[in-house]
Amino acid sequence: MYGGRKWVKKVQQEWGILEKNLPDYIYVRVFEDRMDLMRAVIIGASGTPYQDGLFFFDFYLPPEFPQAPPSAYYHSGGLRVNPNLYVDGKVCLSLLNTWTGRGNEVWDPSSSSILQVLVSLQGLVLNEKPYFNEAGYEKQVGTVEGEKNALPYNENTYLLSVKSMLYILRRPPMNFEDFVRSHFCKRGHYILKACEAYLQGAVVGTLNDDACPTDTNKEYSCSMGFKLALGKILPRLITALKDIGADCSQYEHLGKTETAQES
């Protein structure tokens, strides 16, 4: 199962790197009795359509590691929240040799690390405008057309992210049950505050840590279709957050949004 003493030493070295250098919003659990496995969670960063979501990844370190990169599995819950993260759990990333890349973008046995993989997932995959992660769409970065297309894409991504929250609340990954509960208890207020900001027209992916809008550009407001879809999800989200002890009192009225829109 393992790759010998050299392999064990390398894995322990990786553990040390993670222990000392993991950035905020990334947490990792390792298993002393299964050194070839680790589970990580990335908290969606503010200023992205993934804000406050929890994104879980399992990693397997093969006997050939580090000559071969780790393999990764994403807990999708049946939701395609990003072009690089497939419903079947596949993770497309150059560092994992599951996507094209060159130079330091691909796995280098002498210098690449699991920390580097995690930081790439946080910064390059769960980013501000995942529209540009679609194959070939990176050519539109900085163009009027690209920026215009990225806005509704972010709206759909946020809806998927909220549905992902519901999935994780319902089925928290093993060994992270307390973490999931604690996170959503602490951030539930801000998640609902973000939903309210979007219902009031704030552009998806432009909120700070406190879920306050940072983009004062009034040229674009969230689409009515997005607001209606979010309104339909909110009653379930509020119920799920209340069930784990989050304080939702200030945003109870959001649960009535759907009813108001339908009447």
Q: Which residues are the active-site residues?
A: 92
Measure the CA–CA gap between 42 and 114, rounded to whole angstroms: 13
Number of H helices, E strands in the chain: 6, 4
Residues shown for the chain: 263
**Residues contacting residue 5 through CB under 8 Å, at least 6 positions apart:** none
Cα gap 212→160, rounded to integer Å: 21
- End-to-end, the C-alpha distance of the chain in Å comes to 60
| Residue 78 CB burial class (10 angstroms; 0-12, 13-18, ≥19) | exposed
- Residue 188 has a CB neighbour count (10 Å cut-off) of 24
Rounded-to-integer distance, Cα 111 and Cα 113, Å? 7
